[in-house]
Chains A and B, each alone.
Chain A
Amino acid sequence: MSAITTIAGRELKSLFVSPIAYLVLFLFFIAMGTLFSLMAFRPNELAEIRPVTDFSRFALFFILPGLTMSIFSEEYKTGRIEMLRTSPITEAQLLLGKFFGAYAFYLVLLAATLVYVLLLTIYGRPDWGQTMAAYLGMLLMGGMFIAVGIFFSACTKDQIVAYLATLLVLGFLTFASGLSTLLPTNVSLFGLTIPAAATLNYLGVGSHIGDFSKGVVDTAHVSYFLLVTLFFLLMTYLLLESRKWR
């Protein structure tokens, strides 16, 4: 257990001295702040954090990969992977340490957005249940985005490639729900009727984050985020193990 916390701690400290992380931080607050001030914090609007969390994915899908792109790719490029792999830790501990380190940075970012909640309470009466559900959604969504980012970072020693690949996948997941309306409701394929629009909608983040923003915690949506997160973490673990053999 302490190997994981050691690696996570080191990763977090390293992020705090890295210029890219500050760029991420800067863009994150510009995006969230804009959402908040234009959509939530206006006269006659309901005092809720809902619009911020509802639309956050459109900002996070290209900002969070900036956080994760170098997590493994730098280790490959500098040869530090040799130091890590010959240390008495398992690949699982290494992976989880890196994940929690990046996630901790994300938690700091999220914690800073609590100032919006503070502002809402000064000028209105936000529903606490709804607010908590919304933040739970953000926590789950962030975990998923970071897991995808870490996977692609472990695929290559080139940060840029890792960033672009992550961007592509997260972009797909972000826009899928919105774009699903363009698909026909049913598609006939090999004699089967496939509900194309509904499938694409389900794959997208949009169809899952909405309920959290409203204040509803539905286990169906919780499982979506957790399963995709676990899927990408597992893939990363398998990738790390398989690289030993090459």
Chain B
Amino acid sequence: MAENLKSRAADISVERLTKAYGNFLAVDHISFNVPSGTIVGFLGPNGAGKTTTIRMLTCFMPPTSGTAKVAGHDVFHESLKVRENIGYLPESTPLYTEMRIREYLEFRGKLRGLDRDTRRKRIEHVAERCWLKDRLDSVIGTLSKGYRQRVGIADALLHNPPVLVLDEPTVGLDPSQIREARKLIADLAGDHTVLLSTHILQEVEMVCQRVIIIARGKIVAQGTPEELKNKAGAGIRLEVRGPSDQVRSALMAVPGIEKVDVESTGAVGRFTLQGKTSVEVREQIAGTISQRGWALREMRAEGATLEEFFVKITDPGAAAA
């Protein structure tokens, strides 16, 4: 079953996808694209529409309007084909608690049309990758959340689908397991397309090649983690002895600086600059200040975090990017 991914379309493309509940738009005409073989992080505050979007992609519910195509099949018109090509881990990891792990995976394998030999091999394989080998005969009801989570991941991987949709896959795992899980997911890149929905921003930074941020039903940002961090207002902090307003206008004139906030005035002013933080810009700032005869007491470039960007972009007061 180890087919070359390039031989099968495995991208996700969504166009003006909408889910309306009466007049309320849970998902508001969103469009995005996940190229084959990439790992994309789906981020957003609670109630943003992440789970609703995921549920439309996995054919749990139909869209109100718009289209979504997974692995080349439309989720509305070719629902069965889409479901054959997706491995899905829902947020609630629903399992039959009275079954044993092996039984459950056999059941899932049969539902997916795997014949007996393939089932046996695949169960061995996913049990190995998800650290379930020693507990294959345990009753699911007796397992901890962490183990159940792994059963869910094993289930999603079982039929080696081209597309994986994982909703909060590392919730409930202990720190070492989280690390292993992230490694597992990162290893999937190239052979699988992965849509990962999570609240954990460092997970997105570590594992995802692209990020889509959704808030209030709309996409507010898309890009690589690096791109988004740069947009976040990486800043330069300055402490300059000189007249604040003149310093401010001089700084604004420096190319690459978008915004100058005056933190405090007086003989020595503190300023926060938004914009490019590259070395060239900083040297230019230093040059400008010394040319005008002011004293530069401190200059510090601060890296932005994805968290800052996330909070800013999903702030209810902010306009969509």
Q: Does the CB pair A90–B62 fall under 8 Å? A: no
Given contacts A87-B112, A88-B84, A89-B111, contact A79 B62 (CB under 8 A): no
Minimal Cβ-Cβ distance residue in B for A78: B94
* Residues of A with C-beta under 8 A to B99: 10, 13-14
Is B249 interfacial (CB-CB < 8 Å)?
no
- Is A90 in contact with B80, judged by CB distance below 8 angstroms? yes
Contact with A along B284-313 (1 / 0, CB 8 A): 000000000000000000000000000000
Report the bound CA distance from A89 to B83 in whole Å: 8
B-contact 0/1 string along A150-193, CB 8 Å cutoff: 00000000000000000000000000000000000000000000
Bound-state Cα–Cα, A89 to B110, Å: 11
A2 with B110, Cβ < 8 A, contacts A85-B60, A86-B59, A245-B62 known: yes
- CB of B98 within 8 Å of the partner chain: yes
Tell me, yes or no, whether B96 is within 8 Å of chain A by CB.
Answer: yes
Binds A, one of B27-35, B85-93, B120-128, B216-224: B85-93
Q: Would A2 and B88 count as touching, CB distance under 8 A?
A: no
CB <8 Å contact, A80 and B98: no
Q: How far is the CA of A40 from the CA of B111 in the complex (A)?
A: 46
Contact with A6, one of B95, B98, B107 (Cβ below 8 angstroms): B107
Question: In chain B, residues 56-96, which have Cβ atoms closer than 8 Å to a Cβ of chain A?
Answer: 58-62, 80, 83-84, 86, 88, 90, 92, 94-96
Are A18 and B110 in contact, with the CB atoms below 8 A? Answer: no
Contact partner of A86 among B62, B83, B96, B107, CB < 8 A? B83
Contact between A83 and B98, CB atoms less than 8 A apart:
no
Which of B88, B90, B98, B113 is in CB contact (< 8 Å) with A18? B98
Q: Nearest chain-B residue to A93 (Cβ)?
A: B111
Residue interface bits A64-96, CB-to-B below 8 A is 1, else 0: 000000000000001111110111111000000
Residue on B with the closest CB to A81? B94
Query: Do A14 and B98 have beta carbons less than 8 Å apart?
Result: yes
Q: Distance (Å) between the CB of A28 and the closest chain B CB? A: 22
A interface, CB within 8 angstroms of B: 2-3, 6-7, 10, 13-14, 17-18, 78-83, 85-90, 244-245
11 contacts between A and B (CB under 8 A): A6-B107, A6-B110, A10-B99, A17-B98, A80-B94, A80-B96, A86-B59, A86-B83, A87-B83, A87-B111, A244-B61
